[in-house]
Amino acid sequence: MNFNKPGSNSIVTVPAAGAWPSVAFETDASGPHSWNWTIQWGSFQKSGTAQTAGNTWDAQDAIANCGGTLTVNVTAGKDSGSIKVKIQGANPSASDAQAYLASKPGSDGFDKIIQHESKFRHFTAQGEPVKSFDNGYGMCQLTTPIPAFEQVWNWQQNIEGGLALFATKRAAAIQYLSQNGRPYTEDQVRYEAVCRWNGGSYHVWDSKANRWVRNPNILCDSKTGNIGWDMTDSANTGKSEAELRQRDSGSYSKRPANAHWKYFGVCYADAILG
């Protein structure tokens, strides 16, 4: 059995708008066909079957919101065949992605995170989702919990997954800031939520001033995105940012166990929000 279409190893590109295109298959056989398909990219995989009365089948609905290598095995009577097709993606414009984000509730501050993480870029030049060294996927760099296949490949679903996670950070920020009936501002919520996206709390309660303040013990390396020093560490006390950077910057690429610098959500929020 041969495939009339598509050609072997054809490339199908999902348009920037994010609507999955038709992926039509046709063989030179006749009669009922059984199609077994698997789409896989990295550790993500989805499989299924389809039955048709004739020799054509469109994979559009089956593989919607997924991409990578699509393998199709088909049988018709005693005949069989197999073919592979590559599904790749195209980036939306930054303005289109920002407009989509702005249309969603609870997005205040999240645009700064996406701009920092990916500059609203979802796919690489090879048409595959952006992936970080720590397995962060897509324009939102979804890491934990591990995103669904669809959230990795569909940039709109990636944003929605990011917003859902950001909502939990914002809720935690409000719960933290409102403890014991303490007052807080929306600006403090924004900084606290963005900080928690990276990890930890941004504010500490100043009992003398009776207000929340940025953690005064964290000094950030202003030339990085989230690296800083706990100034209560005796190895850091009394040293300037420049002195600490000169001492530690050589170890930034891989933090040793005895390092006196850390990744701080406080520094992340400072870098993003200013």
Mean pLDDT of the residues in the chain: 96
For residue 128, what pLDDT is reported? 97
For residue 11, what pLDDT is reported? 97
For residue 18, what pLDDT is reported? 83
Mean pLDDT within 179-196: 96
Domains annotated for the chain, with CATH where assigned, are 3-89 (2.60.40.10), 91-185 (no CATH)
Say what the pTM is.
Answer: 0.87
Give tens-digit pLDDT for 155-166: 999 999 999 999
Give tens-digit pLDDT for 73-91: 999 999 999 999 999 999 9
Contact between 88 and 123 under an 8 Å Cβ cutoff? The reply is: yes
